[in-house]
Structure 1
């Protein structure tokens, strides 16, 4: 596809979506699969202005009152490698995330029980291959087909305990903060990227069999334990999410996470620490297998001023014969309402350091060190259901080999909530 055709395709897509959004409003950041995050859940309240298509003549609030909450999000990213990397390039990727939340207490009298069913369609392409890095600068790329994604039940056992079971990805509950969801790069968007590079968990929209037990001690303290299927075919998108089998070569990843949400100097904060214990045969970079993989992670965020949140995250595994990035450190700042009169906009900066495994370097015949990604952007909340987010990424030492020039990537993320 030539440049003119690509730009025309993107322009028409954005223009047509924009024409539809006359009565729209906050779109929840979506975290893509290799980044990824599933979308943050909406609260139970209904406001017609929050949706591009309004209240459907009163049908939508009536369905919600009965326990049926449909949802549909559309996201697209345009990216262009304008300097460095392997080659100049530009492309477009899009994503539809749709489904329904069912309140089974309202529908069938099953106290404290809900069900979620969702699908994802991904289309378009990425410029990642032209940049040459380990992180994709277009976070909604990965498995460009239509999937059956979530299919799970969640029940509130009592005031403190809840249980989730079904088809789901681990990043729905673990190793992720909503602050990550503003980045166009998989360096930070979604769950901690190192966990995906070593295949110890899956993420949106790659579902596996799994379950999560949550214990809320009180408003400040929460503990979660999750068990999820993992295996060599966990990223296979050719079955469109319809392969429910458990194979002999599959294993499990056991995740544990403790969350603390205190007030620090009168400001909201969140601190979580976690661990991933994966039991299956992982292929080593230089031959043979490893049957157990451990990774620890930690995250801290705090509101340092009105609308200004800062965070830091670190993750480490000593299994460098399997873990492509044994150490990952990320940090960032998100400022809501920086521009006067635009209180719902977000301005952000992210930085990620990914240390590459020597064993991985040996397997590709290179001496590797690390890759760093910096990103600066601004989300314009055009209406509650429509946002436009330009950003610039600087990728230092793509691939960690020193053989690829630092890259500058320009991008724009467009999102709608129907």
Structure 2
């Protein structure tokens, strides 16, 4: 089972202030007509987007269970999660650079992975994981930091920095939590 919640925000402090307030900004929170979970903050988010600023706070939580089988077939479950802080900047709107953008994302993973001690033999390596947000160490990391420039009316994009190949190539929508199916 995988739960995904996307919170577009200026940062965790702003999120706490908006969710915790009872003014006009909080009235739009959790509205089915809003693009954002915590609302438009009285038009502030729309104004920031129009100026080229898009800030995010994302959360993904995954629960996996082993009912029978694997290296250790005791019935158990494991939970792992990931928080991500990000910024996507339209450099054309901000700096006047035609068809240019910048992205920054920092992630933090925590929890336990069912594959490590129940499904796979812990004495041997494994190729995949039943929880895709697990891996590369449970720590804060720079996940994305890139700049992209478009040329010839978008016919050619040049992207430089740190990013996953699935952002631009071989990408597909995925609703699985297994790392073999979704990375």
Counterparts of 2:140 and 2:115, CA distance in 1: 21
Aligned match of 1:117 in 94, 104, 124? 104
Counterparts of 1:115 and 1:102, CA distance in 2: 5
Q: Report the equivalent of 2:30.
A: 23
Aligned match of 2:130 in 127, 131, 137? 137
Question: Larger Rg: 1 or 2?
Answer: 1
Q: Does 1:52 align with 2:37?
A: yes
Counterparts of 2:182 and 2:96, CA distance in 1: 38
Q: Report the equivalent of 1:169.
A: 164
Secondary structure in structure 2 of the residue aligned to 1:121: strand
Q: Report the equivalent of 2:141.
A: 147
Q: Does 1:186 align with 2:179?
A: yes
Secondary structure in structure 1 of the residue aligned to 2:34: helix
CA shift, 1:70, in A, is 0.9
Q: Report the equivalent of 2:3.
A: none
Secondary structure in structure 1 of the residue aligned to 2:92: helix
Q: Report the equivalent of 2:9.
A: none
Structure 1 runs not aligned, ≥5 long: 1-19, 26-47, 191-418
Counterparts of 2:180 and 2:166, CA distance in 1: 15
Secondary structure in structure 1 of the residue aligned to 2:93: helix
Counterparts of 2:66 and 2:127, CA distance in 1: 15
CA shift, 1:72, in A, is 1.8
CA shift, 1:24, in A, is 5.1
CA RMSD of aligned residues (A): 1.8
- Say which structure is richer in strand: 1
Spell out the pairing of 1:6-405 with structure 2 (5 A cutoff): 23=30, 49-87=34-72, 88=74, 89-129=76-116, 130-132=118-120, 134-142=127-135, 143-159=137-153, 160-178=155-173, 181-190=174-183
Secondary structure in structure 1 of the residue aligned to 2:94: helix
Counterparts of 1:175 and 1:138, CA distance in 2: 20
Secondary structure in structure 2 of the residue aligned to 1:59: helix
Structure 2 runs not aligned, ≥5 long: 1-18, 20-28, 121-125
The size of the alignment, in residue pairs, is: 146
- TM-score of the superposed pair, with normalisation by structure 2: 0.73
CA deviations 1:98-136 (Å, max 9, x no partner) are: 211101111111011011111111111100021126431
CA shift, 1:174, in A, is 2.4
Counterparts of 1:24 and 1:119, CA distance in 2: 28
Counterparts of 1:122 and 1:83, CA distance in 2: 27
Runs (4 or more) in structure 1 with deviation over 4 Å come to: none
- Say which structure is richer in helix: 2
Counterparts of 1:118 and 1:134, CA distance in 2: 25
Counterparts of 1:134 and 1:117, CA distance in 2: 28
- TM-score of the superposed pair, with normalisation by structure 1: 0.33
Counterparts of 1:163 and 1:134, CA distance in 2: 32
